[in-house]
């Protein structure tokens, strides 16, 4: 379940901004659950004495989540760079169209011509 929250396709790629907000909220909720359950498990485990194995297992899960979060950050940075490049290309096209229009459009009438 927790892996779905961290997968880029779950909100970043396919669902846009609203899906991303939903995934971020689920991730925040999941982080709270992880902390709570980890504390509960440590309290239960402290009597059993198998703390090293438990810590290793938790660390493995947390490392996987960190990896997925890092990968999502890289994916978002790439998408932002693509969007920025597209925006800049559109701005250049708009400026070029304006220049072309000024070059080929007939000159506007002067103020004296409009009043005579």
Q: Please give the structure tokens belonging to residue 13.
A: 């790629």
Question: With 80 as the cut, is the pLDDT of residue 111 above it?
Answer: no
Residue 75 near residue 8 (C-beta atoms within 8 A): yes
Q: Which structural domain range is residue 70 located in?
A: 2-104
Does 52 map to a domain?
yes
- Is residue 75 domain-resident? yes
Span 52-82, pLDDT tens digits: 777 788 888 888 888 988 898 898 899 899 9
Q: pLDDT above 70 covers what percent of the chain? A: 72
In a domain, 7, yes or no: yes
48 in any annotated domain = yes
pLDDT at 110 over 60: no
pLDDT of residue 93: 95
CB-count exposure of residue 58 (10 Å: 0-12, 13-18, 19+): middle
Let me know if residue 109 belongs to a domain. Answer: no
Q: How many structural domains does the chain have?
A: 1
Q: Which tens digit of pLDDT belongs to each residue from 19-56?
A: 777 877 888 888 888 888 878 777 776 666 677 777 78
Give yes or no for a contact between 35 and 61, defined as CB atoms under 8 angstroms apart. Answer: no
Look at residue 50 in the predicted model and tell me its pLDDT.
72
Does residue 115 fall inside a structural domain?
Answer: no
Asked whether residue 116 is assigned to any structural domain, the reply reads no
* Residue pair 6/69 in contact by the 8 Å Cβ criterion: yes
Asked, for residue 111, whether it belongs to a domain, the answer is: no
């Amino acid at each position: 379940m927790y892996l779905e929250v961290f997968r880029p396709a779950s909100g970043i790629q396919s669902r846009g901004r609203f899906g991303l907000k939903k995934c971020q909220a689920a991730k925040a909720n999941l982080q709270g659950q992880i902390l709570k359950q980890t504390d509960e498990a440590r309290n239960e485990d402290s009597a059993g004495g198998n703390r090293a194995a438990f810590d290793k297992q938790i660390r493995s899960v947390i490392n996987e989540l960190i990896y997925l979060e890092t990968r999502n950050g890289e994916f978002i940075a790439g998408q932002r760079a693509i969007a920025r490049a597209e925006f800049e290309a559109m701005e250049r096209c708009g400026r070029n169209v304006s220049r072309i229009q000024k070059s080929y459009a007939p000159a506007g009438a002067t103020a004296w011509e409009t009043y005579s």
